[in-house]
Amino acid sequence: MHNIALNRWRNQQPSYGAWINLPDIHIAETLGRLGTDWLCFDLQHGLMDYRDLTQLLPAITGLEVTALVRVAANQPDQIGKVLDAGAHGVIVPMVNSADDAARAAAACRYPPQGNRSVGPMRDALLEGLGYLASANAEVACIAMIETEEGLANVEAIAATEGVDALFVGPMDLCYGLGLAPGSFTDSAFVAAIERIKAACRAADIAAGMFGYNAEMAASSLASGFQFASIGTDISFIRAGAAQAFATARGEELTEATRGGY
């Protein structure tokens, strides 16, 4: 097992990724072939379930891309199940304390480092028992910081053994700080981002950002984040179609037309 994204972070190399919300194996494979370092399949807000995941992950098997999954909640059974399906990293939402972080990390690791149960259905098929020897070092545990409580405890969360990265959910963090969604230039939001990055540097782990577009991703990496998403499958389809229609009609494409998610 070789986790491309995790090893880039450990070597202080930036990485770009994309977000998968749609349960379509052709879209996943297409994005996986475009040179992205990682794809995140979203079981929290995406339009997919676990059965879809068992088809989506094989669609990118063998490609030079790391499969991450955002689980719906910080539950050991959910984390273990997506890892058994072939994910090489888990993004865990709403991590608010060091205890939350420790629970997520333990669910990602086999004993003695954690309490993950043995049954790696997909990776055992590909690698046999060799997977068990490398999994603890190569599976990425990524904790999301997106609440006021999570921010208050960010240093302890980052320092938790077994946590490989923190990941910012910017819209939820805005809400957690009492800001309007999208207030990314507000001084309180900017200060929160700097605190998160500083906590990651102190703990020697990676910092990641959910970028809504390529510009936001590039800005995030230039400012000290190690990884960022450049958009979602839905946003790529919307932007491409909007551009095509605007070009055909001789119209100028606006940000409102291009849309968000």
Please list, in sequence order, all residues whose beta carbon lies within 8 angstroms of the beta carbon of residue 159, skipping any fewer than 6 positions away: 98, 199, 202, 203
How far apart CA 99 and CA 13 sit, in angstroms, is 29
Among residues 2, 26, 45, 88, which one is catalytic? Answer: 45
Catalytic residue at 88?
no
Instruction: Pinpoint the alpha helices (H) of 95-232.
Output: 98-108, 121-127, 130-138, 148-152, 154-158, 170-176, 187-203, 214-222
Q: Under 8 Å CB-to-CB from 67, ≥6 apart: which residues?
A: 38, 39, 41, 57, 60, 86, 87, 88, 89
Residue 234 and residue 212: Cα distance in Å, rounded? Answer: 11
Dihedral of CA atoms 191, 195, 201, 206 in degrees, nearest 10, equals -90
- DSSP 3-state of 113: coil
Active site residues: 45
